[in-house]
Structure 1
Amino acid sequence: MESTDAAGKLRRVLRRLNIGTALAVLATATLTAGAASADTAHRSDRGRLVSVQHVTTLAAKEDAAAALAAAGYDGSAVRFGVDAYRLVYRTVDPGGRPTTASGLLVLPRGGDHELRTVSFTHGTASYRPDAPSSMVKVGFVSSPAVTYASAGFAAVAPDYLGLGTGPGLHPWMDVPSETTASLDMLRAARAFVPRTGRALGHDVLVTGFSQGASAAMGLARALQAGDDRWFRLEAVAPVSGAYDFRHAELPALLDGSLDPKSSVLYAAYLLVAWNRLHHLYDSPDEVFRAPYSSTVEALFDGAHTGPQLFAGTPDAIDALLTPHGFEMLRNPTGRLAEALRVADSTCDWAPRVPVRLYAADADEQAADANTDHCEAALRSHGVDVAVVDLGAPDFAGSRHLGSNVAGTAAVVRWFGQLR
């Protein structure tokens, strides 16, 4: 009752004041409203559309199939042309403060009025324009969304925080913020789709690749927990995830079992991004060797391209990490251990929907043990999870990247069968 009365008084005051004075009153009211009121406002604002930009149209199914083929993807599931949009929406940062993020929405040019939704969360990127919503043409990152939409689904692909048009730096492998950004992207898509004459149904099929596999599991868990009143989880199908960084990915990365250059980039990204979140070190020279200690943090500012990252980092992890850096990753303690516990908990629950884990043989970037550990964790909760072996797919000489191509083709077929 008190908050309702206060809000009414504030509205009456604002009507009598000029704009400048009104803003001052509003700012004062906001500062004194209390943390509970602020949190409520932030929650109610999450997923609200800020802007929409039409990105591209592939008018006919032949156009969509040709675009996917040119990007190296399988177009056999294509049934429709597609329209693609960049959505900018309100969400929260890792500290729960209001921010914005962007994402790609792709809709079929045909099919049902009420669309089933596929959420696809993408793999690792550090350069802002490499995010899905920045697509100029159909490419590696945007092809999964085009695949799902051209098969008749509404495809929702969040950029995450700090990528695309989102402000700030990207908090890599931060599952809580990946989850909120993904859930709020679904809400933004639901708000926009009626403008196209369609609607989003309740069911969400969740998938993601690499970094996005953990993000997918985080989103799936949030949906099952009822974090949104409209959407409900229908199935989960992550591809080639690093589900257990502490006990699977980091040991393989440090002992040379994985591709050396990828290991360098992932180790650097983890330490830089998580230091921003969790304060793991005071100075970069504690964990990075010279000359990289003076340059590596700047490489992950969202403005450096993939080739610049490759050129600015060594080819072997021994040349990157100090003995202390090695020890931190080999035997995590304190803040790092706690952050890893959170990141590695994405399979530690019991989905009540069909679950499939997709993985390639001898993946050179995501250690095979990641999928094994995820399967074991899910089975420990009584989940009848299926592991789908994608074999040895190749894309640009990489089985890891190839698993995104092969996994997308397999997942879209499976999602189509679930109806």
Structure 2
Amino acid sequence: MPVHRRRLTTAVACAVMLIGSAAGATGAVAAAPARPSVAHPQHQSGRGALLHAELLYTLKTREAVAAELTEAGFDGSQTRHGVDAYRLTYRTVDPQGRPTTASGLLALPRGKGGRLRAVSFAHGTGSHRSDAPSMQRGTFLTGPPVTYASAGFAAVAPDYLGMGTGPGAHPWMHVPSEATASLDLLRAARAFRSLDRKVLVTGFSQGASAALGLGRALQAGEDRYFRLGALAPISGAYDFGGAELPALLAGELDRKSSVIYAAYTLVAFNRVHRVYDSPDQVFQNPAVEVLFDGEHTGRQLFEGTPDSLDALLTPYGLDLLAHPRGGLVDALRETDSVCRDWAPRVPVRLYMAGGDEQATTANTAHCVDSLLRKGVEAKVVDLSAVDHGGSRHLGSNVRGTVEVLRWFRQLG
């Protein structure tokens, strides 16, 4: 295998599984907090109730932040403050509306008093429950929230359901529960720190759809306090059924990432909507389903799946993705609603990178068209030939983070 191909394959594994794309990344957060944990017994009921806050680490100076961001492959030149990073555990609901708990990262600028403007950042796809912002440090996952916090914002980054310390399996690409987990983390963050009403919302890849879902919930008034301030998603699969799956099946995207996304689609969507009766109905090897239990690492998943869709899926499984029916139609209707069924009344910018090997740029084009039909002109920002570890998809998050930050600063 040529060297450049080996680098891209490794980058794809990191992009899909978020197992650490930057050499020398600090990695998993140590169990011991930097100072005693803080419990909040006065906030013990209802969605968004803050159950526990744990200081994970402190970057005391802007220089320390810049060094950590640079080591993780991000731009460290925009730092203004040191950062305190907390894991918040809070009450929320599962896809069926039943009470559960979740965790997320709250990153705060050191030395900045008063009410802070919040930036909600939703992360990209992960497989292991530790592939979450509150479970890592100095990695591709934490680069964006630490960047926003060091710039003076309160960065709020949900782990999602079934990731971080939350129980159960992760309902990947389930926009309704991504939105409730994100909104409830904002509520928990407000119980911990005074926040401004207007929220700036962004996210990458899977998190781009989650960001739009949160924005829709905020604009609809699902919280009495918070309001939507602006939307800036990056490299999303906004039209999963109409753009992403067709490109994946046509071989237009990276082959290995297509295999993993196809498998994740069937397994995760089946957790909320009945997509198949048994794993052997859709997978050549039914054991593939177990790889998405939240306990297998990205590397294990990468090595445990075949290298082609034909080797992964049965003829029925391939046909199901090509011609969705039953529960898959219901799942795609939810996922693909993020640009179709509402009209944002705030500034919107969609960030993308030409030649993205994982999220076809047709997703962005379809989203723009859908919003335009609702009377919304969303500006598209082409991040051009970005690269991070051989991946334009990863690179769009790195470049997009600093570009989104500049725009958010302009908005005030």
- TM normalised by structure 1 equals 0.87
Structure-2 residue corresponding to 1:335: 327
AA partner of residue 182 (structure 1): S
Instruction: Summarize the alignment of residues 166-177 of structure 1 with structure 2, pairs less than 5 Å apart.
Output: 166-177=166-177
Shift in Å at residue 170 of structure 1? 0.2
Instruction: Summarize the alignment of residues 278-289 of structure 1 with structure 2, pairs less than 5 Å apart.
Output: 278-289=273-284
Moved more, 105-114 or 142-151: 105-114
Shift in Å at residue 152 of structure 1? 0.3
Provide the rounded CA distance (Å) in 2 between the counterparts of 1:44 and 1:219. 22
Q: Any conservation in 2 of the 1:110–1:152 contact (CA below 8 Å)?
A: no
Tell me if 1:200 matches 2:195. Answer: yes
Instruction: Summarize the alignment of residues 373-388 of structure 1 with structure 2, pairs less than 5 Å apart.
Output: 373-388=366-381
Q: After superposition, what is the alpha-carbon deviation per residue over 1:263-288, rounded to whole angstroms, capped at 9, x for unaligned?
A: 00000001011112111111111111
Give secondary structure in 2 for the equivalent of 1:91.
Answer: strand
Provide the rounded CA distance (Å) in 1 between the counterparts of 2:272 and 2:378. 33
Greater than 3 Å deviation, 4+ residue runs: none
Provide the rounded CA distance (Å) in 2 between the counterparts of 1:111 and 1:361. 38
Q: Any conservation in 2 of the 1:131–1:164 contact (CA below 8 Å)?
A: yes
Provide the rounded CA distance (Å) in 1 between the counterparts of 2:210 and 2:199. 14
Higher helix share goes to which structure? 1
AA partner of residue 297 (structure 1): E
Provide the rounded CA distance (Å) in 2 between the counterparts of 1:327 and 1:301. 25
Q: CA RMSD in A?
A: 1.0
Structure-2 residue corresponding to 1:272: 267
Provide the rounded CA distance (Å) in 1 between the counterparts of 2:75 and 2:306. 35
Structure (1 or 2) with the larger CA radius of gyration = 1
Instruction: Summarize the alignment of residues 340-351 of structure 1 with structure 2, pairs less than 5 Å apart.
Output: 340-348=332-340, 349-351=342-344
- In structure 2, the gaps of 5 or more residues are 1-43
Shift in Å at residue 111 of structure 1? 3.2
AA partner of residue 336 (structure 2): D
Equivalenced residue count is: 368
Provide the rounded CA distance (Å) in 2 between the counterparts of 1:417 and 1:112. 21
Q: Any conservation in 1 of the 2:273–2:330 contact (CA below 8 Å)?
A: no
Percent sequence identity over aligned pairs: 67
Structure-2 residue corresponding to 1:364: 357
Structure-1 residue corresponding to 2:94: 93
Provide the rounded CA distance (Å) in 1 between the counterparts of 2:326 and 2:259. 23
Q: After superposition, what is the alpha-carbon deviation per residue over 1:111-162, rounded to whole angstroms, capped at 9, x for unaligned?
A: 3511000000000011011100002x31100110000000000000000000
Provide the rounded CA distance (Å) in 2 between the counterparts of 1:314 and 1:116. 45
Give secondary structure in 2 for the equivalent of 1:298.
Answer: helix
Shift in Å at residue 227 of structure 1? 0.4
Q: After superposition, what is the alpha-carbon deviation per residue over 1:23-73, rounded to whole angstroms, capped at 9, x for unaligned?
A: xxxxxxxxxxxxxxxxxxxx9610001111101000000000111000000
Q: Any conservation in 2 of the 1:208–1:215 contact (CA below 8 Å)?
A: yes
Structure-2 residue corresponding to 1:140: 140
Give secondary structure in 1 for the equivalent of 2:313.
Answer: coil
Tell me if 1:54 matches 2:49. Answer: no
Q: Any conservation in 2 of the 1:77–1:413 contact (CA below 8 Å)?
A: no
Q: Any conservation in 1 of the 2:270–2:327 contact (CA below 8 Å)?
A: no
Tell me if 1:321 matches 2:313. Answer: yes
Q: After superposition, what is the alpha-carbon deviation per residue over 1:222-246, rounded to whole angstroms, capped at 9, x for unaligned?
A: 0001000111111000000000011
Q: Which of 398, 401, 411 in structure 1 is aligned with 2:404? A: 411
Provide the rounded CA distance (Å) in 1 between the counterparts of 2:113 and 2:251. 49
Shift in Å at residue 110 of structure 1? 2.7
Provide the rounded CA distance (Å) in 2 between the counterparts of 1:188 and 1:283. 38
Provide the rounded CA distance (Å) in 1 between the counterparts of 2:224 and 2:304. 46
- In structure 1, the gaps of 5 or more residues are 1-42, 194-198
Give secondary structure in 2 for the equivalent of 1:95.
Answer: coil
AA partner of residue 249 (structure 1): E
Provide the rounded CA distance (Å) in 2 between the counterparts of 1:298 and 1:329. 20
AA partner of residue 388 (structure 1): V
- TM normalised by structure 2 equals 0.88
Structure-2 residue corresponding to 1:129: 130
Structure-1 residue corresponding to 2:31: none
Q: Any conservation in 2 of the 1:360–1:400 contact (CA below 8 Å)?
A: yes
AA partner of residue 84 (structure 2): D
Structure-1 residue corresponding to 2:150: 150
Instruction: Summarize the alignment of residues 58-97 of structure 1 with structure 2, pairs less than 5 Å apart.
Output: 58-97=59-98
Q: Any conservation in 2 of the 1:288–1:322 contact (CA below 8 Å)?
A: yes
Provide the rounded CA distance (Å) in 1 between the counterparts of 2:410 and 2:75. 17
